[in-house]
Structure 1
Amino acid sequence: MRPALTLGVLGLTPAATLDFLQRLEANTPAALERDHIRVLADINPKLADPDAANAGFLLAEAAGALAGAGADVLAIIDDAAHAHTELIERASGLAVVDMIDAAADAARMADARRVGVLAPRGAIRLYREYIAAHAMGMVSLEGERAQAFAAALQALRDGDLGRERRAEMRAFAEELIAGGAEVLIAGAVELPLVLDSAGLHVPLITPAEELARRCVAVCMGLEPAPSPTL
């Protein structure tokens, strides 16, 4: 059996990254503490705008530092930042364990034909591509409703986890269900802090949970490691 791989974690927001690390620990089949995988984490809120003009270069630089510290594969704890995967892989030499693909695959496994996605604009484009590749349709917020979601998500990122924000996010989710979604993807890493499956009538997929499972499987040799873009 080959040695376990070291996972590099590139986090853009503290709360979402700490949530992912808890999921990673919970999904690791370890009988003893020493059986857990090694994790190198860089939580850098200054990278928190993956749509900025130089975002890809900054993310690639941070990934390169993780590679230099000993990481073998990389997890990026931000949906929209996956738009820069190719640049990050080329620059760092690290293969990215793809969170978008993991979430889309979970929707496919749920036998969904139409997938509702709550996500910021940059991530919506990615989810549309991946979901179509799995031969499923996508339901998303449009126009003014998409703008309202973006404003609510920014408030959430600024630390507003109150009752009003929770009710607002649930209303957006129910809107997608009413629009025909058979499964929902919480396509912003902050959403699980205020949105869960309780009371929803369709499955709710948390990409960070699916990513944690896949990272454990890859690092422990339970499934093949991805290959970086060269």
Structure 2
Amino acid sequence: MTLILGVLGGMGPAATIDFLAKLQALTPADREQDHIRTIVDINPQVPDFSDPLVKPGPVLAEMAGALQGAGAQVLAIACNTAHTYADLISRSSGLPLIDMITTASVAARETGARRAGVLGSRPALKLYREYLAAQGMGMVTLEPDRQAIFMDLIDKIKRGDKSREVRAGVAALTADLAAGGAETVIAGCTEVPLVFEAGATRLPFIDASETLARRCVAVCLGLAPLPV
């Protein structure tokens, strides 16, 4: 029996839609009934993760509980930074969580790389450093001034700006990671794949949103075990 997937989304909305499109595209289906039933909460009202005065955790926990009440049997979060609250989300819902940071880190290790460059928010980078270390890998990050530029680009993408300037900016930051010794690059922010162009880097490129979608398909179809 196919499991029902619950998705915590809206951070941001376009990235969630991108994740759902990948989920659909990666599902082996001969007819529409073969696709995975998915219950999605696209909630752009989740408090800003960059604001130290607000607490997104309780909102995410409430969303997870509502998805469980609606029938979800396993959860995914279509946002890297929100995984800061992964334990709270799992406890509040009682459901297993397919972890985006884990799937992307494993994918990075499988490229054979020893050091992964990560484009992500500071909270997401903290998680990736820990999870990559568990894979026996080091991590390369942007210099502080370039990290500030990255976050500015993410804000522009969230506002719908996918201009050539924004695409070039993301490509340049990817080149910074390569110059810093990265042997693979992880898009550790779900807005990055919205503007990343094939060929922008010579390194293996890990789209965390895509690796999560692929894992969700495997788990929901019974091709991979439920996460513990």
- Sort the TM-score into its range (normalised by shorter chain): over 0.9
Q: How does 1:33-44 map to 2 (within 5 A)?
A: 33-44=32-43
CA distance in 2, matches of 1:33, 1:159: 30
AA at the equivalent of 1:59:
L
Match for residue 164 of structure 1? 165
Residue 48 of structure 1 deviates from its aligned partner by: 5.6
For 1:197 and 1:48, locate their aligned partners in 2 and report how far apart those are by CA, in whole Å: 33
One-letter amino acid of the structure 2 residue matched with residue 212 of structure 1: A
User: Any idea what SS the aligned residue of 1:46 has?
Assistant: coil
Q: What's the secondary structure of 1:154's corresponding residue? A: helix
Q: How do 1:12-161 and structure 2 match up within 5 A?
A: 12=10, 13-47=12-46, 49-52=48-51, 53-161=54-162
State the number of aligned residues: 225
Kindly provide the amino acid, as one letter, of the partner of residue 162 in structure 2. Answer: L
Counterparts of 2:47 and 2:32 in 1: how far apart (Å)?
32
Give the corresponding residue for 2:190. 189
Question: How many Å separate the matches in 1 of 2:193 and 2:48?
Answer: 19
Equivalent in the alignment of 1:6: 4
TM-score by length of 2: 0.95
TM-score, normalization: structure 1? 0.95
Contact 2:118-2:141 within 8 A present in 1 as well: yes
Other-structure match for 1:206: 207
TM-aligned CA deviation for residue 49 of structure 1: 2.1
Instruction: Return 5+ residue gaps in structure 1 as ranges.
Output: none
Question: Tell me, what secondary structure is at the counterpart of 1:45?
Answer: coil
For the Cα contact (< 8 Å) 2:167–2:197, is it kept in 1?
Answer: no
1:197, 1:203 within 8 Å by CA — same for their partners in 2? no
CA distance in 1, matches of 2:78, 2:200: 27
SS in 2 for 1:123: helix
SS in 2 for 1:212: helix
- Structure 1 Cα separation of the partners of residues 50 and 70 of structure 2: 27
Amino acid at match of 2:139: M
Q: Supply the AA of the counterpart residue of 1:9.
A: V
* 1:32, distance to aligned residue in structure 2 (A): 1.6
- 1:140-163: CA deviation from partner (whole Å, max 9, x where unpaired): 012211112112211221221111
Partner SS state of residue 24, structure 1: helix
Which deviates more from structure 2 when the two are superposed, residues 156-165 or residues 103-112?
156-165
Shift of residue 51 of structure 1?
Answer: 4.6
Measured in 2, the distance between the counterparts of 1:16 and 1:156 equals: 10
User: Aligned residues: percent identity?
Assistant: 52
> Secondary structure of the residue that 2:147 maps to in structure 1?
helix
SS in 2 for 1:116: strand
Change (3 A) 1:142 1:199: closer
In the alignment, is the contact (CA less than 8 A) between 1:37 and 1:216 conserved in 2?
Answer: yes
> Distance between the aligned counterparts of 1:134 and 1:56, measured in 2?
27
Alignment deviations for residues 99-158 of structure 1 (CA, whole Å, 9 cap, x no partner) = 000000000100000100011111010111101110011000122111121122112212
Say what the alpha-carbon RMSD is for the aligned residues. Answer: 1.1
**Segment drifting more, 192-201 vs 15-24:** 192-201
- SS of equivalent to 1:10: strand
CA pair 177-48 structure 1, distance change in 2 beyond 3 A: farther
Query: Is the contact between residue 14 and residue 158 of structure 2 (CA under 8 Å) also seen in structure 1?
Result: no
